[in-house]
A and B are shown apart, each in its own frame.
Chain A
Amino acid sequence: MDTVEAVVTQIQGLSGGSGDVSLLHSLLKQADDLLHTESTRLAPFLDQLDPSIHSLGYLYLLEACTSTPILKEQANQLVVSIASFINNCAAEQIRLAPDKFVLLCKRLRDQVILLEAPMRGVAPMLTAVRKLQSSSELLTALHPEFLLLCLLAKCYKTGLRILEDDIFEVDQPRDFFLYCYYGGMICIGQKRFRKALELLHNVVTAPMSTVNAIAVEAYKKYVLVSLIHNGQFSATFPKYTSSVAQRNLKNFSQSYLDLANSYSSGKISEVEKSIQTNREKFEAGAYLKLVFLDKNLGLVKQVVSSMYKRNIQRLTQTYLTLSLQDIASTVQLNGPKEAEMHVLQMIQDGEIFATINQKDGMVSFQEDPEQYKTCEMIEHVDSSIQRIMALSKKVTAMDELLSYDPLYLAKAGRERQRFDFDDYDTVPQKFNI
């Protein structure tokens, strides 16, 4: 086909059944260069097509159309058109050309950031992610883009919804790293430290052949979040961490490790000292992606306040009642008023169970009233059991799948020990390489 009009007619004709669509797909691939050369002329043709029926064709045209540099005045229009396309397109069709779709969405993200209105991109990107995923367990290249927009727009709750899905399959490791890193940051923003720790842990321990900047930054945040959530940080890596990470990650985050050491001493003064000496390092952060400047100082301040909390929690283990003055002196606060504020905050957050008697200036600590006898608790336990059973089935399935994967067998066949001739050989002969 040599003209754009012909392409458009083809699109309109062949967007019916799935056989037609695959034919259309191959035709479009051949016509791609043509479309790119004619990109300036394509805008009116878009109106002839319906995004919900002719999604694939529309995608190709739109992508070619936006491949030229965009002027600032056109940006707004562009955002609108891409957003409406995403909302209306048919998921099965665009899954045939995922790269193009991803490219298009990335352009959307660029424009939205240029317009300094990242909020406008959040909803369309969410729809895009859902449409591109063939299952909720698959990580697409759009996940990190979406999370980035959420971060810039500060709408963390939307980001959280995506993070609730468990990911089991990853295409590109780089997407995975960015996804976990941004996801960790969103969870920190929402104070969901357990999930943040999980995500950051995955980045730090992921298999990698060379150290990348994302892992380094993730490690720094990992140290801080570990201090906030667990009250301690263990500098030894688990066995499954890649050797590259084990050797190199600590070199870049010495100031953070110093902070962890001073935290373990249990004294506020030491932690403050450590922060003062390393202040610039904490503020510098990293310059990752576009205009996003990543500062850790806020997180460091949270580390300090978590230390007070932990010290007060330790007091609940040894005392039944304690005066506010004693709390203030043990935890190194400035006075009973400040101690009262801290304790009040912790009671409201549900971190300790206590009552404050203002007449005497006494706090009495109580046990956790949770008796584990309610219906909700039984439901919770039951659903956890179901969940774990499903997980176990998944692991078994994966194991089975792997045991007849030819690549794995080839490698295993080469490396297994050769026993006696009569021994039962678990790997068939043909894999004896």
Chain B
Amino acid sequence: MEGEEETSAGAMIDEIYSNGGDAKRNRPIISGEALDIEAYASLYSGRTKITRLLFIADRCENRQMQMEAYRMAYDEIKKGENTQLYREVVQKIDGRLGPQYGLDVPWTEAVDRRAEQRKEKLENELNAYRTNLIKESIRMGYNDFGDFYYAHGLLADAFKNYVRTRDYCTTSKHIIHMCLNAILVSIEMGQFTHVTSYVSKAEQTPEAVDPVTVAKLRCAAGLAHLEAKKYKLAARKFLETGAELGNNYTEVIAPQDVATYGGLCALASFDRAELKNKVIDNLNFRNFLELVPEVRELIHDFYSSHYASCLDYLGNLKANLLLDIHLHDHVETLYDQIRHKALIQYTHPFVSVDLRMMANAFKTSVAGLEKELEALITDNQIQARIDSHNKILYARHADQRNATFQRVLQTGNEFDRDVRAMLLRANLLKHEYNHKASRKL
């Protein structure tokens, strides 16, 4: 029996030191592949597909990928009616893709003419409905206008028209329809405050909402929080999204995105208990995580303290995440937060930690690690002190009794000083007032 205990203890110690980084593990770490643009673009539909492709083309350094993205964007735009965007893309391509990707003037003219005609028709119809005062028709009229402007890329007008339908909505379905449209346009415009307000409006409707819509609204809310840098709230929203979302919201977000955003935000902002509860044990979210196995792996690695592999996964994903239209300016912050959490979690259970071993686990130099730890200690996130001579980190627990005495004496002094100053000031005021009063008399 004792022999067994010893071997199991030995195995446990090995496990602590290994950090999941050596060849014993059979899951190879996938190296970050270059983004497969076609596969990526097929996840989305509508205007967001085009904007995402253009974003990738602008940010990406690989010429081939860039051209691929432009080509797909061009094709996609030609299917629609947005001539303004078309002209922009053609300018960016600059003839590099050959003659069939140049400016097709007849097409643009035809589209513009059609647009004018449609606009006139819509206006006449709307005026007719307005004179007839049929609520439902007016609502449809404004809606059609909104759709028209949206298709032509005039987002502000589209938004205005969608919002105007509010006065003519009679059932909750109408309201939800309006809210979803408004949310869509606001996300495209990048005005996420509107998104939040319309999500709450939609959620307040008295009738029960179908699960797909609920999932859509949660995603939209999550995106709004992400933009506002409220990572914890964003994570919660994404994690609550039901699996019914499926492919129903591809004009805004793909389920892979839900998994990625939700997973990363949760990792950066949740504490351990919440992470286990809401992410790892969350059966619903598991469906999403299956779509992005790398994110799933890195969350599990973090939870089981295999920091080296976790940080490896993160590093590999970084290049692709920087090409994501919603996540790109949050990548750095999220990564920093995750790294800090990893450092704090590593040191938490120990009384003393050898910095050399820790540097090994986090794949940095001892000096670099020392600097990072110093920042965390100054920020009061780790309660410890560094023995720089022997390169050891010692946990330090504040002496409550001494701290209390110190605080008491300090508060006493401050009270003393403030009351005396107050009495003086009162006295000065009294004299000033008496002086004024005696002058008046």
Interface residues of A (CB under 8 A from B): 166-171, 173, 176, 198, 201-202, 205-207, 209, 240, 314, 317-323, 326, 360, 362, 364-365, 367-368, 370-372, 377, 380-381, 384-385, 387-388, 391-392, 394-395, 398, 407
The reply on B23 being an interface residue by CB < 8 A is no
- Complex CA–CA separation, A240 to B423 (angstroms): 12
CB of A367, distance to nearest CB on chain B (Å): 8
The reply on B321 being an interface residue by CB < 8 A is no
- Complex CA–CA separation, A173 to B394 (angstroms): 56
Known: A168-B423, A318-B377. 4 other contacts (CB 8 A): A206-B424, A206-B425, A368-B402, A381-B408
Counting chain A CB atoms within 10 Å of each CB, the highest count among B419, B428, B434 belongs to: B428
* A-chain residues with CB within 8 Å of residue B425 when the two chains form the complex: 202, 205-207, 240
- Complex CA–CA separation, A166 to B415 (angstroms): 14
Residue on A with the closest CB to B435?
A173
A202-B421 contact, Cβ under 8 Å, with A321-B388, A407-B437: yes
The reply on B386 being an interface residue by CB < 8 A is yes
Counting chain A CB atoms within 10 Å of each CB, the highest count among B377, B419, B423 belongs to: B423
Sorted from nearest, which 6 A-B pairs have the closest CB atoms? A372-B405, A318-B377, A321-B389, A320-B387, A320-B385, A322-B388
- Complex CA–CA separation, A322 to B377 (angstroms): 15
- Complex CA–CA separation, A369 to B427 (angstroms): 42
Partner of A317, one of B377, B428, B437: B377
* B-chain residues with CB within 8 Å of residue A209 when the two chains form the complex: 432
The reply on B401 being an interface residue by CB < 8 A is yes
Partner of A168, one of B386, B424, B431: B424
A384-B423 contact, Cβ under 8 Å, with A318-B377, A321-B389: no
The reply on B416 being an interface residue by CB < 8 A is yes
List 11 interface pairs A-B (beta carbons < 8 Å), by A numbering: A168-B427, A173-B428, A206-B425, A314-B378, A318-B374, A319-B388, A321-B388, A371-B402, A384-B409, A384-B413, A398-B423
Residue on B with the closest CB to A201?
B421
- Complex CA–CA separation, A262 to B219 (angstroms): 44
CB of B408, distance to nearest CB on chain A (Å): 8
Residue on B with the closest CB to A362?
B389
* A-chain residues with CB within 8 Å of residue B390 when the two chains form the complex: 321
- Complex CA–CA separation, A173 to B408 (angstroms): 34
| B interface: dominant SS | helix
* B-chain residues with CB within 8 Å of residue A391 when the two chains form the complex: 416, 419-420
Bitwise, B134-153 to A at CB < 8 A (1) or not (0) is: 00000000000000000000
- Complex CA–CA separation, A408 to B99 (angstroms): 91
Interface size class of B (residues with CB under 8 A): 35 or more
CB under 8 Å from chain A, chain B span 354-394: 373-374, 377-378, 385-390, 394
Counting chain A CB atoms within 10 Å of each CB, the highest count among B388, B431, B432 belongs to: B388
CB of A206, distance to nearest CB on chain B (Å): 6
- Complex CA–CA separation, A168 to B424 (angstroms): 5
Residue on A with the closest CB to B380?
A317
Q: Are A323 and B409 in contact (CB under 8 A)?
A: no
- Complex CA–CA separation, A368 to B409 (angstroms): 16
The reply on B439 being an interface residue by CB < 8 A is no
Residue on A with the closest CB to B386?
A319
* A-chain residues with CB within 8 Å of residue B374 when the two chains form the complex: 318-319
Residue on A with the closest CB to B412?
A384
A326-B423 contact, Cβ under 8 Å, with A173-B428, A317-B377, A407-B433: no
* B-chain residues with CB within 8 Å of residue A168 when the two chains form the complex: 420, 423-424, 427
Residue on B with the closest CB to A171?
B431
Q: Are A170 and B419 in contact (CB under 8 A)?
A: no
The reply on B228 being an interface residue by CB < 8 A is no
The reply on B426 being an interface residue by CB < 8 A is yes
- Complex CA–CA separation, A41 to B384 (angstroms): 82
CB of B79, distance to nearest CB on chain A (Å): 55
Partner of A207, one of B373, B402, B432, B434: B432
CB of A371, distance to nearest CB on chain B (Å): 7
CB of A88, distance to nearest CB on chain B (Å): 33
- Complex CA–CA separation, A169 to B420 (angstroms): 11
Residue on B with the closest CB to A318?
B377
Partner of A388, one of B389, B394, B412, B437: B412
- Complex CA–CA separation, A105 to B394 (angstroms): 65
Residue on A with the closest CB to B385?
A320
Q: Are A398 and B426 in contact (CB under 8 A)?
A: yes
* B-chain residues with CB within 8 Å of residue A326 when the two chains form the complex: 388
Q: Are B424 and A202 in contact (CB under 8 A)?
A: yes
* A-chain residues with CB within 8 Å of residue B432 when the two chains form the complex: 173, 207, 209
- Complex CA–CA separation, A320 to B352 (angstroms): 12
* B-chain residues with CB within 8 Å of residue A321 when the two chains form the complex: 387-390
Q: Are B431 and A372 in contact (CB under 8 A)?
A: no
Q: Are B431 and A173 in contact (CB under 8 A)?
A: yes
- Complex CA–CA separation, A77 to B161 (angstroms): 98
The reply on B325 being an interface residue by CB < 8 A is no
CB of B439, distance to nearest CB on chain A (Å): 13
Partner of B428, one of A170, A367, A368, A370: A170
CB of B395, distance to nearest CB on chain A (Å): 11
The reply on B37 being an interface residue by CB < 8 A is no
CB of B92, distance to nearest CB on chain A (Å): 42
